[in-house]
Structure 1
Amino acid sequence: MREVIHNRIAMLRAERKVSRRDLADALGVHYQTIGYLERGEFSPSLHLALRVAEYFDVPVEVVFSIHPFPRLGA
């Protein structure tokens, strides 16, 4: 069974008008890694998850969860 880490990276990027490439450059990863993370095809290391949260200046729980996030407006 594959464990999925749910995330709000795409929402945070859109909200703050940050491209995948800009985020990847800031984190020191390949831009495709951001796409893999957003689609749930890759689970981040703890270090990377903390760096993503720090980049957006939010707690890591705002960005990542082991449970699906509720839909906005629901």
Structure 2
Amino acid sequence: MIKGGVPARDIRRLLKGRPDAIGLAVPEIPLDFPGMDFGDQREAHDIFLIRKNGLTEVFASYPSD
């Protein structure tokens, strides 16, 4: 399961690593998400790994400018 604006590189990393998880999620849409028109503005956000037991952990972090 992939929810939200998860970058392709994180999906590839998930598939390559095969962690004990059900997917990745971005709980909010960051400013630099494709289709959002905020120029070069970037917003810090995290990609969360969702474990099979329902717990989450940060899988990747993206800083703001």
- Normalising by structure 2, we get a TM-score of 0.28
Higher RCO (CA-CA < 8 Å; seq separation 6+): 1
Q: Which has the larger radius of gyration?
A: 2
Larger % of helix: which?
1
- Normalising by structure 1, we get a TM-score of 0.27
Larger % of strand: which?
2
